[in-house]
Structure 1
Amino acid sequence: MRAAPLVLRDGDREILQAWIRSTTMKSGLVLRARIITLAADGVAHAEIARRFDISRQTVINWRSRYLAHGIEGLHDEHRSGRPRTLDRDKLITTTLTPPPRKYGVTHWSSRLLADHLGIAHGTVSKVWSEYGVQPWRAETLKFSTDPELAGKVTDIVGLYMNPPENAIGTAA
């Protein structure tokens, strides 16, 4: 027995079509939008399942969710599991502030920050990736932590200002 075409609510076809055309929409939502629009066009469940390489039951489930909840029913439900305990704001704020002088570095590495905060370095890397943070690329002035910097700079500038007699590149 073939299911009757799905009747869409007012304005939903335009929303579903926009989801299908979107390049930023999550792929799961795009697939669900395609399932619902094909069901509304009267395409059989088995044919929709074949087109998207999914089970017939998946098509039936999404059709039922749409009937019960409309467009909102197509979004992911909250999953079970332990809630996040990491304070991501604190991690990002700490990342964007210079490390304490005791570490002797100009910016954080994931391992150093992880040790400082008492968390796994993979967690730091994952959060940095999610937020697009790259502390080693910060466009701010970095100060050297070398205690002998002033003497080294004086020596180098002195060589440029008064090069030795047989130095390469000096005019005769």
Structure 2
Amino acid sequence: MAQRSRIVQECTEGHSIMEVSRRLRIAPDMVRTWRRRFIERGLDGLCDDPRPGVPRKITDADVERVIVKALEGTTKNATHCSTRSMAATTGMSQSTISRIWRAFALVPHRSRPSPPKAPAK
């Protein structure tokens, strides 16, 4: 945003596209792009356009739910937490669970449950 604002400011001060390009050490096409977008849309033109592609289907709340369940430990009658068991528990696909675990470096199937605490005397 700062660089885009500098481009627009330099252009409004009357500097040519090539001069702005040289002064800011950027490509002339970049100056043309942001100058044109500012002329067409004003300040809103300096913000990023939406990216192409399909919007996310997994929400932040879903990711949090998976992480919390993974950190809580195993489910009933299970020796360890697997992507398959987590997928069944959360209703997400096994590959989604795997991607979430990789993104957060979780390996619950390798962690050992903590030993039971001795009763206090």
TM score, norm. by length of structure 1? 0.48
Q: Number of aligned pairs?
A: 106
Structure 2 residue 35 is matched with structure 1 residue 54? no
Q: Find the counterpart in structure 2 of residue 38 from structure 1.
A: 10
Q: Find the counterpart in structure 1 of residue 90 from structure 2.
A: none
| Unaligned residue ranges in structure 1 (runs of 5+) | 1-28, 135-143, 159-172
Would you say the 8 A contact 2:66–2:97 is kept in 1? no
Question: Which structure would you say has the larger RCO, counting Cα contacts within 8 Å and 6 or more residues apart?
Answer: 2
| Unaligned residue ranges in structure 2 (runs of 5+) | 88-93, 107-112
Q: Which 4+ residue blocks in structure 1 deviate beyond 3 angstroms?
A: 101-105, 112-115, 120-126
User: Looking at CA atoms only, which structure, 1 or 2, has the larger radius of gyration?
Assistant: 1
Once the two structures are aligned, what percentage of the paired residues are identical?
Answer: 19
State the SS of the aligned residue for 2:37.
helix
State the SS of the aligned residue for 1:78.
coil
State the SS of the aligned residue for 1:84.
coil
Structure 1 pair 41–103 and aligned structure 2 pair: CA distance change class (3 A): farther
Would you say the 8 A contact 1:104–1:145 is kept in 2? no
User: Using the alignment, how far apart are the partners of 2:84 and 2:47 within structure 1?
Assistant: 34
State the SS of the aligned residue for 1:96.
helix
The one-letter code sitting in structure 1 at the alignment partner of 2:31 is V
Q: Find the counterpart in structure 1 of residue 98 from structure 2.
A: 121
The one-letter code sitting in structure 1 at the alignment partner of 2:67 is T
Give a deviation string over 1:72-104, Cα, whole Å, max 9, x none.
011111121232222331220232342324455
**Residue 41 of structure 1: CA displacement?**
1.7
Q: Find the counterpart in structure 2 of residue 73 from structure 1.
A: 45
State the SS of the aligned residue for 2:19.
helix
User: Using the alignment, how far apart are the partners of 1:115 and 1:72 within structure 2?
Assistant: 46
Give a deviation string over 1:128-167, Cα, whole Å, max 9, x none.
59xxxx9xxxxxxxxx654xx35xx36xx89xxxxxxxxx
TM score, norm. by length of structure 2? 0.63
Give a deviation string over 1:7-26, Cα, whole Å, max 9, x none.
xxxxxxxxxxxxxxxxxxxx
**Residue 61 of structure 1: CA displacement?**
1.8
The one-letter code sitting in structure 2 at the alignment partner of 1:121 is S
State the superposition RMSD in angstroms.
Answer: 3.4
